[in-house]
Amino acid sequence: MRTALRTIALTVAGAALAAVPARAELILFREGLVVKATGYRVVGDELEIELPGGGGYRVDLERVDRILDDEVEVAPTIELPRSEGDGVLYDLSYKRDRKPLFSTPYDPVIEAEARRYNVDASLVSAVIRAESASNPRSVSRKGARGLMQLMPSTARRLGVRRPFDPQSNVQGGVRYLRELVERFEGRPDLVLAAYNAGENAVESYGGVPPYRETVEYVRRILSWWTPAEQRPGADPTTSRDRSVSR
């Protein structure tokens, strides 16, 4: 089937957003609260938040879902290859012939967990490269940990007790990707955006949020990874390689 380039225009609700960086961060809490901060730092199991105008406070790090740079793009675009026709046209399920992309020591773990949760192993490897450059001891200044950079709140929800253990971390991260594939009906751009910015942000904006960090994250992964096209009549959220035993 011929393929054509699909350009997804991201519509920003409300007034036009300035392209100049705001030099602040957005703290996204699991309960849906969003706080604009001028700075932050991880102190043990807490996050110390600095507020505009001075002052601040500390919160339990497990309450924090995401931390994003408060920078936006005006009318950003994400380009995806898609075949002719309408509807969801990508299959993010596990396929035996779609291997991890970067030949790391963690490829067997990626393969096993991708198969377990029915997620494209090449997608998993691309996310790991973007998140931690395949460093299992990686800790971001935001407090995210391990190969797939799970925040403590996300790790706890997914049952990941050892975030620096490659198998445990990847199992949690791939399980989370499976949740996102189902929630966003196999849309590669939305799955990646939600992994970076959170599901609530994607649903609030009705697409990829215009955060510069998120847009660049999605573009970077799509420059490495090409999602498989959906077979006619297949469900992109549940399709599975028939050669894989269950």
Which residues are catalytic, by number? 131
Nearest to 72 by CA among 14, 17, 139: 17
Distance CA(116)–CA(186), nearest Å, equals: 17
Report H helices in 118-151: 121-132
For residues 95, 98, 102, 103, the Cα torsion angle rounded to the nearest 10 degrees is 80
C-alpha to C-alpha distance for 127 and 165, rounded to whole angstroms: 17
CB 72 within 8 A of CB 59: no
Region for 233 from its dihedrals, namely left if φ exceeds 0, alpha if ψ lies in -120 to 50, beta otherwise? left
Amino acid identity, residue 132? S
Non-local (6+) Cβ contacts of 90 within 8 A are 80, 82, 186, 187, 188, 227, 228, 229, 230, 236
Question: For residues 55 and 173, what is the distance between their CA atoms, to the nearest angstrom?
Answer: 35
Supply 157's token pair.
Answer: 């929800």
